[in-house]
Structure 1
Amino acid sequence: MGKYARILYRDQIYSVEVTEQGLLTEQGEILPTEVVEWLPPAQGMMYALGLNYADHASELDFKPPERPLVFIKTHHTYTGHNSTTWRPDNIDYMHYECELVVVIGKTAKNINREHALDYVAGYTLCNDYAIRDYLENYYRPNLRVKNRVATTPVGPYIVDKEDIKDPMNLSLKTWINGELCQQGNTKDMIFDIAYLIEYLSHITTLQPGDMIATGTPKGLADVKVGDRVEVEIEQIGKLTNYIVSERAFWNKSH
């Protein structure tokens, strides 16, 4: 049981346990949190849910779905805690999405819901930014909406599933520059975690390190260059991200 992270320190990647004393490496060294770069704690495929909260569907003028609306995000979209995400030039609306993320712990194929949580390693959270300008038809999150480089902060760490008594009753909150903008609870999901694992495992094979991003409740707001965006889930943690311009991001990256 515990919290586990991936970090970059002095040009080397470490898998660490998050403790009160700091970040414990596999070699027994303690690293202070303020000197490391946080990396996404898992690197597998992300199966992301659209409109998995009825109140969120309503605020977007959609009917709640009768079956899960699932799209795929790949590892190049992930970024870590305290990182930057870029707002594309010439868009009108880009919003955050605070989401509970299920991390798969072992290969899952054709799993029934009563056994589904046995395949969970733990939980983390993500901020699944969306560029609303590019949405198509019935909530079709194409590449321009949801699959851009470094537009999905994930982390800071994975919390062992044994430490979360009831993942279907956790509060979610989002702040922009310290102002509370979004509140919800995982109990309001349309399709719960066990159902999603069953559903997905009958379509594909879930692998260790794969993630399921379970959707966001209502309470969206546009994010601007210069904003500090924090998403938090009870018992899981708080994930911080900073919005920069397209030019600033790519100039720094290259």
Structure 2
Amino acid sequence: MRLATIRHQGTTRAARLDGETYVLLPHADLGALLASGEDWAARAAAEDGERVAAAEADHATLVPHPNKIICLGLNYASHIREMGRDLPAYPTLFAKYDGALIGAGDPVTLPVVSDRVDWEAELGFVVGRTARHVPREKALDHVAGYTVINDVTVRDYQRRTREFLSGKTFEATTPVGPVLVTPDELGPGEPDLEIRCEVDGTVMQRARTSDLLFGVAEILSYVSEIITLLPGDLIATGTPGGVGDGRDPKVFLRPGQVLRTSIEGIGELRNTCVPEAVPPAA
């Protein structure tokens, strides 16, 4: 099953992809669907009603207001090497706020305060069941599905302190979507999919999600030791090598460039970079 949050008649609705159309579900967004009870998948699959042509759908960010957005840094060996870091013994966690999230086709805002904005293609997953102290062997049972994320990063702000947050949660910089693909569509176990990022048609990143140092089950289990994960929580698993900051010379995003992020079997984000519009001083 493929689920989305789409904009419709001035609001948003959760939706299920059915062939060439989206079936609108009786929930304001995917987060509301996931929070509606553990039988959410059966109800979403059975629902029928108003439809919207998939080709005309305007995708909002997948879960507009997750209780938690948890991200991993340094989770592919190729990225760790290019950033000059040692292999971590434990997952490197940081967070975002929901103001950073945008839809699959929305513009990425390049902040006026920096010219060092970088791309980071990532496999994302969404929690489907409450999880606390979940053993690794049962962790995948708590995954609602998988999606595509680009953890667009403002590198100079990221490095102002030892903490990542300030470079990771700039307004309207993180596309998520276009759909949530439930695990049954991707086969048993953790997905082994090609992940790819292009800037203006040039491939910058290409890897496989099976190359993660800490896999999905290990991540969910580890985080659940720290805090209770709730339905709709969004987790970004980290990026492979090929970021602009790891190149010589370094390369960063510029206004007008098109950032394309895709994961085999899930879908594609396509976002044009636009300069931040700063209101005049009062």
Q: Same fold (TM over 0.5)?
A: yes
Name the structure 1 match of 2:269. Answer: 239
Query: How far 1:19 sits from its partner (Å)?
Result: 2.4
Give the alignment's Cα RMSD to 1 decimal: 1.7
Higher strand share: 1
Pairing partner for 2:109 from 86, 99, 120 = 86
Structure 1: runs of 5 or more not aligned = none
- Between the aligned residues of both structures, percent identity stands at 33
In structure 1, what is the Cα distance between the partners aligned to 2:119 and 2:19?
30
Name the structure 2 match of 1:71. Answer: 94
Q: Is the 8 A contact 1:122 1:159 kept in 2?
A: yes
Q: Which amino acid aligns with 2:208?
A: N
List per-residue Cα deviations over 1:129-157 (Å, max 9, x = no partner).
011112237863122x0111211100001
Query: How many residues in Structure 1 have an aligned counterpart in Structure 2?
Result: 247
Runs of 4+ residues over 4 Å off in structure 1: none
Tell me if 1:201 matches 2:224: yes
Equivalent residue runs for 1:13-24 within 5 Å = 13-24=12-23
1:205 counterpart SS class: coil
Name the structure 1 match of 2:201. Answer: 178
Question: Once structures 1 and 2 are overlaid, which stretch shifts more, 89-98 or 214-223?
Answer: 89-98
TM superposition score normalised by structure 2: 0.83
Pairing partner for 1:159 from 181, 188, 213 = 181
Query: How far 1:246 sits from its partner (Å)?
Result: 1.3
Q: Structure 2 vs 1, CA of residues 66 and 139 (structure 1 numbering), >3 Å: closer, same or farther? A: farther
2:146 counterpart SS class: strand
Pairing partner for 1:33 from 54, 59, 66 = 54
Query: How far 1:92 sits from its partner (Å)?
Result: 3.6
In structure 2, what is the Cα distance between the partners aligned to 1:167 and 1:141?
27
Name the structure 2 match of 1:106. Answer: 129
Tell me if 1:141 matches 2:164: yes
Q: Is the 8 A contact 2:2 2:179 kept in 1?
A: yes
Q: Is the 8 A contact 2:158 2:168 kept in 1?
A: no
Q: Is the 8 A contact 1:110 1:201 kept in 2?
A: yes
Equivalent residue runs for 1:49-60 within 5 Å = 49-60=72-83
Q: Is the 8 A contact 1:168 1:192 kept in 2?
A: no
TM superposition score normalised by structure 1: 0.92
Q: Which amino acid aligns with 1:32?
A: A
Question: Once structures 1 and 2 are overlaid, which stretch shifts more, 29-38 or 13-22?
Answer: 29-38
Q: Which amino acid aligns with 2:168?
A: K
Structure 2: runs of 5 or more not aligned = 26-47, 245-251
